[in-house]
Amino acid sequence: MDNLKQPAFPYIEYDKAASCAPGFTKLEYASLLIAQGSVAGGFDPIDSITFASECVKIAKAVLEEANK
């Protein structure tokens, strides 16, 4: 099952103050977490476009492996 484009979180109407981002797909959310962790860990990206695309590639690989 290819779930890269599935919502990262289920939509819960009554949960309007949630700290999560219900509009993101699993791929988008995983990419953001990888980027956040990299920067928090001390990585200083010089080229933001390359950094962003690498985060997406890593997230896609991780999610595809989890689908197996």
CB-based contact 24:32 (threshold 8 Å): yes
The count of structural domains within the chain is: 1
Tens-digit pLDDT profile for the chain (68 aa)? 567 888 787 766 655 555 555 578 899 999 999 999 988 888 888 888 889 999 999 999 999 998 88
In a domain, 5, yes or no: no
SS3 content of the chain, % helix, strand, coil (to 5): 50, 5, 45
What does DSSP assign to residue 19?
S
In a domain, 14, yes or no: no
In a domain, 7, yes or no: no
Q: CA dihedral defined by 46, 40, 52, 63, rounded to 10 degrees?
A: 150
CB-based contact 30:63 (threshold 8 Å): yes
In a domain, 59, yes or no: yes
Residue-range definition of the domain harbouring residue 44: 26-67
